Amino acid sequence: MSARLLLAGVTASLLVAAPIDAQMQAKRLTPHEIAALPAMGSGAGTSGVTGIRSVVLAGDPTQAGLYTIEIQVPAHTRIASHTHRDDRTAVVVSGRWYIGYGPTATDAAASPLLPGSFYTEPAGAAHFAHTKDQTAAVIITGVGPTDTIYVEEADTPR
% the chain with pLDDT above 70 = 85
| pTM for the whole structure | 0.83
Distance of CA 153 to the CA centre of its chain: 21
Please compute the mean of the pLDDT values over residues 15-32 and round it to a whole number.
68
Please compute the mean of the pLDDT values over residues 50-75 and round it to a whole number.
95
User: pLDDT value at position 23?
Assistant: 67
> How many angstroms separate the CA atoms of 51 and 157, rounded?
11
> How many angstroms separate the CA atoms of 135 and 100, rounded?
17
Tell me: pLDDT of 24 over 90.
no
Please compute the mean of the pLDDT values over residues 83-111 and round it to a whole number.
97
**Residue-wise pLDDT tens digits, 38-49:** 888 777 778 889
User: pLDDT value at position 2?
Assistant: 53
**Residue-wise pLDDT tens digits, 103-135:** 999 999 999 999 999 999 999 999 999 999 999
Query: Which of the four pLDDT bands, split at 50, 70 and 90, describes residue 16?
Result: very low
The residues near 101 (Cβ < 8 Å, ≥ 6 apart) are 109, 125, 126, 127, 128
